[in-house]
């Protein structure tokens, strides 16, 4: 199971600028050498991402977003990242960010999932991210 970590600044961006129901979300990937910080990192420019050569789409599809009991649940469809045409550079962290918001900062970071160690996808392999189960499965 992947460990979930929320970026502390996301709550502010969500309240001030984001529209979780209609904004576009994308995942960024980074490795252990560039571990994200929940307190210091705020937007995509704050992290060092791996090269996305040979990687399928990183766009997320929102399946639902709703408030219940004072908590907002934003759910995404499972995402399969597939290596095609070569391997994908080593990564450990999967970081969803809001690709729509431009102010007060562009591309605010939502959270990150820690796979536990760096992994590389070889040509033809895929990583399925199950957002509701917090699980990552390499196939």
Where in the chain are the domains? 3-77+88-120
- Checking if the pLDDT of 8 tops 90, the result is no
Tell which wins on pLDDT, 136 or 121: 121
- Checking if the pLDDT of 102 tops 70, the result is yes
Residue 139, pLDDT score = 43
Q: Do residues 4 and 132 make contact, with C-beta atoms less than 8 angstroms apart? A: no
pLDDT bucket at 1, cuts 50 / 70 / 90: low
Question: Residue holding tokens 């210091």?
Answer: 40
For the ranges 41-50, 62-71, 95-104, 105-114, which has the lowest average pLDDT? 62-71
Residue 136, pLDDT score = 52
- Checking if the pLDDT of 132 tops 70, the result is yes
Average pLDDT over residues 47-74: 85
Q: Do residues 85 and 123 make contact, with C-beta atoms less than 8 angstroms apart? A: yes
Q: Which residues of 116-136 are buried (b: 16+ CB within 10 A; e: fewer)?
A: eeeeebeeebbbebebeeeeb
What pairing do the DSSP bridges indicate for beta strands 126-130 and 111-121?
unpaired
Residue 36, pLDDT score = 96
Average pLDDT over residues 48-59: 90
Q: Do residues 94 and 136 make contact, with C-beta atoms less than 8 angstroms apart? A: yes
């Amino acid at each position: 199971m992947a460990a979930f970590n929320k970026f502390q600044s996301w709550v502010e961006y969500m309240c001030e600028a984001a529209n979780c129901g209609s904004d576009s979300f994308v995942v960024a990937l980074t490795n252990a050498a560039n571990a994200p910080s929940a307190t210091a990192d705020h937007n995509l420019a704050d992290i060092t991402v791996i090269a996305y050569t040979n990687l399928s789409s990183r766009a997320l599809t929102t399946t639902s977003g709703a408030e219940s009991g004072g908590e907002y649940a934003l759910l995404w469809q499972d995402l399969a990242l597939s290596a095609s045409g070569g391997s994908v550079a080593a990564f450990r962290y999967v970081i969803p960010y809001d690709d729509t918001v431009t102010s007060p900062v562009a591309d605010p970071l939502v959270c990150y999932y820690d796979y536990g160690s760096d992994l590389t996808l070889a040509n033809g392999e895929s990583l399925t991210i199950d957002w509701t189960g917090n699980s990552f499965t390499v196939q």
